[in-house]
Structure 1
Amino acid sequence: MWKLCLPYLALPITHIINYCLSEGTFPSVWKIAKITPLAKVSSPKELKDLRPISILPCLSKVLEKTMVVQIRHYVDHECVLPQMQSGFRAGYSCNTALAHVTDTIMSAIDKNKLAVLVLTDYSKAFDTISHNVLLAILEHIGFGTIATNLIRNYISSRFQCVTLEREISHALPVTVGVPQGSVLGPLLYIIYTFDIINSIKYCTYHLYADDTQLLHEFLPHETQNAVSNINEDVQDLVEISERHGLKINAQKCYVMLFGRAKIRKLIIPEIKIKIKDTPLPLVDNAKNLGLILDTDLRFKKHVSELLRKAYLNLKTLYNNRLILNRSLKIMLCESLVLSQFSYCDNIYG
């Protein structure tokens, strides 16, 4: 409908957007989200079995896209974001992050070194952002009064309601976090966390939105000192994250040790990384941004999982071959099968 009416609505919409940008205000009617719960499992019994899908007004996203263009231009020009932040930035992707991490690990192994990778996980990171801290950060990096007021108006006085089976709940206020399903929210998050990595002294790091990876390479005789340094960086990361209102979920964090097999086997007992008093599990493989890493970097488990998914999807397509035309078969095959293989194929292929 919006596309059909666009010739008549383009001018007034443009006027509204220009007014919002110049006056630093965001329309209240565009700040109401409708949440639709979708089941993660076949028979959901608890809230954790549901995934909330947030639907925002269409015009809200038009204004947000305009804001994103201007904010992104500013933070890129002022070099605000860390170079190793690959999330929600032009020219960066999961591939960028994974290529950097795997290249660093392979380089360390080529030099007969070991490498420890710590994969961290934040609990509901986008939903726990402190509005006051965010606004203070924006002022710190040079946002003017109108720009700061616009963001303040955007994140404050927001409401959300739940829609389920044509029933709509009462709208309740949202006092923390950035809007789910928004265009601007992810960019605000990476600005919000841009200085968190300043606490890291010994490890190299790579970020993809709320995914933070710490990587430390060392010679075998330096293991004890390396473990101490990694633990110090992890603890500092936890503390500065908590000051930002973000919590690292130790139950979903993992440690991996890379190196030549013989040396690695000897060093494994010494690798003890903790978050506060919780020891992090040392694993042989872990999913990292959709790619299953293994300690020998042969990606056998990743390829096996791809083949399993491809088989199931191809079997489904084959069973429905008589009701699908050729073009639809090709489209489904490309989206359900080939896309899985092409994701980061330059790394594991």
Structure 2
Amino acid sequence: MFGEVPNIWKEVLVTAIPKKDCNTQLANYRPISISPVPSKILEKIIRDELLEWFLKQHVIPREQHGFLPEASTTTLLADSIYDWISSLSNDESVDVVFFDLSKAFDKVNHSKLLSKLEHYGVRGQILAWLKAFLSERCMTVRVNNNYSNRYACSSGVPQGAVISPLLFLAYTFDLPNFLKTSPLIKVQMYADDIKIYSCYNERNRQEALLALSGSIEKMLAWSQAWDLPVNLSKSVIMHIGNGSSPDFRFNDVQLREVRSVRDLGVMVDCSLKFHEHLDQVVSKALTILFTIFRNVHTKDPNTLIRLYKTYVLPRLEYCSVAWSPYLKKHIRKIEKVQKIFTRILFRRAFPDPNYPETLPSYEQRLEKLKLRSLLYRRVVNDLVFCFRILRNETRLQASKYWTMRPTFGRSGTLVLHYDKMRKHQFNICYNSLFSRTARWFRLLPDDVVSSCDSKKFRKRLNRLNVLDILKISDV
């Protein structure tokens, strides 16, 4: 490799993919570059080398969860919500600012990106190849069978390219530390989704709000310096706890306060009860479910189950560790989706003239179809996620959420202790992810808890009647 890229690899075909349900506005489309296969293969090789170098040099901030091994939207949301619930437990308030970066991937300055890569120790042929890869690129947009003229790409990392996510992360490695104007400020990032928040009580409220204001100003300064403009009109602030957030005004634009916000696909509300998210999840899942039954006329149960697992289950379980309901009425509400699915499937695949009198119970339907209840699946997902944290299989650190000590008594192999919950917001705190799993781990058999990795842990869990062991009533 001599730091050169064939010109044909730089000529990409761009397809517009809608980002939201409303596809009548041009801004709701994401440009995805379709690159040649040889280019993707070489990109993957270089990306892996770059990632290994960044990890070795410890330049990737712990606050970044995007496009990295052992990190995901789930790790980010679980960590953020833990901070917010802990503040509620301590009778504190939280102000969270969600920044909107306009077309961030498309506006990365090539020369500034290369200078940052060189600063992080990327030199020689790889740096030369990256410079050649980014320069003199051109694109043609395809819509249906119509093609645009060819346009030069003077900035941005091509969306859809294998190496682009890591290049964008490298462009923002310095941002978390830059925004931490005070120990009261916390930063969370998933690629270009950035939020900062401050937890405070009455004693340090003024200090926290000043620090938050300073961090917002630094975010605006950083975005201007590195050509990634913040759209203040779309950036919002959400107040969690008593009272309300103060007015923040920058560049003659006041940050809009909201009571709920979509954070990485999850509707987070200021009460942290996730009622709105649950309603949306159930509604969307039912819409997809009925669409499947309307348009797919097969009577084969295996085909219908595959479609259900592909299109409906992911909607019901995305990031469920962060928002899993604990009230019976909400548990039943989400379980209703799978009950409807099994009922319609039985009516179609196993017709009976005496239906519905002969319809088996929900438990019998699950057993025949070899499915588990949604409650069971969420409990297992909770346990596996937290086990991965305990086994250092994620970027999250177990010591933040639990105090651990081994035991040789009846409590089991490992006892996890969590902060005592105060009366304020007790139900939310008591039933939060790290509190409920700490109680559950004490009830699991020793041979399950002592599994060497999360795959074996899940396999051993699935051999058990987990809900009975944890004394959880199934729906």
Shorter-chain TM-score bucket reads: 0.7 to 0.9
Going from structure 1 to structure 2, the CA distance change for 1:46 and 1:297 (only over 3 Å counts) comes to closer
User: Which residue number corresponds to residue 47 of structure 1?
Assistant: 26
User: Which residue number corresponds to residue 312 of structure 2?
Assistant: 337
1:238 partner SS? helix
CA distance in 2, matches of 1:85, 1:161: 32
User: Which residue number corresponds to residue 241 of structure 1?
Assistant: 223
CA distance in 2, matches of 1:122, 1:320: 39
TM-score computed with the length of structure 2 as normaliser = 0.64
User: Which residue number corresponds to residue 399 of structure 2?
Assistant: none
C-alpha distance after superposition, 1:63-88 (max 9, x if no partner)? 11111110000000001110110001
**Greater Cα radius of gyration, structure 1 or 2:** 2
Q: Report the Cα offset of residue 27 of structure 1.
A: 1.9
C-alpha distance after superposition, 1:85-131 (max 9, x if no partner)? 00010010001111111011111111111111111110000000001
Q: Report the Cα offset of residue 43 of structure 1.
A: 9.0
CA distance in 1, matches of 2:210, 2:282: 40
**Higher relative CO (CA 8 A, sep ≥ 6), structure 1 or 2?**
1
Q: 1:238–1:247: 8 Å Cα contact kept in structure 2?
A: yes
Q: Report the Cα offset of residue 342 of structure 1.
A: 1.3
CA distance in 2, matches of 1:137, 1:39: 32
Q: Give the structure with the larger helix fraction.
A: 1
User: Which residue number corresponds to residue 157 of structure 1?
Assistant: 136
Match among 255, 259, 265 for residue 284 of structure 1: 259
1:181 partner SS? coil
CA distance in 2, matches of 1:212, 1:91: 19
Q: Structure 1 residue 178 and structure 2 residue 157: aligned? A: yes
2:75 partner SS? helix
C-alpha distance after superposition, 1:221-242 (max 9, x if no partner)? 4333322221110011111121
CA RMSD of aligned residues (A): 1.9
Going from structure 1 to structure 2, the CA distance change for 1:39 and 1:294 (only over 3 Å counts) comes to closer
C-alpha distance after superposition, 1:311-348 (max 9, x if no partner)? 21122223235336323211221122111121111111
Q: Which moved more, 1:272-281 or 1:120-129?
A: 272-281
Match among 219, 235, 247 for residue 253 of structure 1: 235
C-alpha distance after superposition, 1:9-30 (max 9, x if no partner)? xxxxxxxxxxx3xx12222211
Q: 1:230–1:273: 8 Å Cα contact kept in structure 2?
A: no
Going from structure 1 to structure 2, the CA distance change for 1:226 and 1:44 (only over 3 Å counts) comes to closer
Q: 1:114–1:257: 8 Å Cα contact kept in structure 2?
A: yes
AA aligned to 1:71 is L
AA aligned to 2:186 is T
AA aligned to 1:254 is V
Q: Structure 1 residue 231 and structure 2 residue 213: aligned? A: yes
Q: 2:101–2:230: 8 Å Cα contact kept in structure 1?
A: yes
Q: 1:231–1:274: 8 Å Cα contact kept in structure 2?
A: no
User: Which residue number corresponds to residue 61 of structure 1?
Assistant: 40
User: Which residue number corresponds to residue 133 of structure 1?
Assistant: 112
C-alpha distance after superposition, 1:249-295 (max 9, x if no partner)? 11221111112xxxx1xx31x52223432111111111000111111
CA distance in 1, matches of 2:20, 2:223: 31
C-alpha distance after superposition, 1:118-172 (max 9, x if no partner)? 1111000000000110111011111122221111011001110122343433322
Going from structure 1 to structure 2, the CA distance change for 1:316 and 1:64 (only over 3 Å counts) comes to same
Q: Structure 1 residue 305 and structure 2 residue 280: aligned? A: yes
C-alpha distance after superposition, 1:186-240 (max 9, x if no partner)? 1000101111223221211111000111010111243333222211100111111
Match among 80, 85, 89 for residue 64 of structure 2: 85
1:136 partner SS? helix
CA distance in 2, matches of 1:166, 1:105: 49
Q: Structure 1 residue 36 and structure 2 residue 15: aligned? A: yes
TM-score computed with the length of structure 1 as normaliser = 0.87
1:251 partner SS? coil
Q: Percentage identity across aligned positions?
A: 29
1:250 partner SS? coil
CA distance in 1, matches of 2:153, 2:275: 44
AA aligned to 2:53 is Y
AA aligned to 2:252 is D
Q: Which moved more, 1:221-230 or 1:186-195?
A: 221-230
1:286 partner SS? strand
Going from structure 1 to structure 2, the CA distance change for 1:51 and 1:195 (only over 3 Å counts) comes to closer
Count of residue pairs brought into register by the alignment: 321
AA aligned to 1:173 is A
User: Which residue number corresponds to residue 198 of structure 2?
Assistant: 216
Q: Which moved more, 1:165-174 or 1:146-155?
A: 165-174
AA aligned to 1:337 is V
AA aligned to 2:139 is Q
Q: Which runs of 5+ in 1 are unaligned?
A: 1-19
1:25 partner SS? coil
Match among 284, 290, 294 for residue 315 of structure 1: 290
2:305 partner SS? helix
Going from structure 1 to structure 2, the CA distance change for 1:49 and 1:248 (only over 3 Å counts) comes to closer
Runs of 4+ in 1 over 4 A off after TM superposition: 38-46
CA distance in 1, matches of 2:22, 2:68: 37
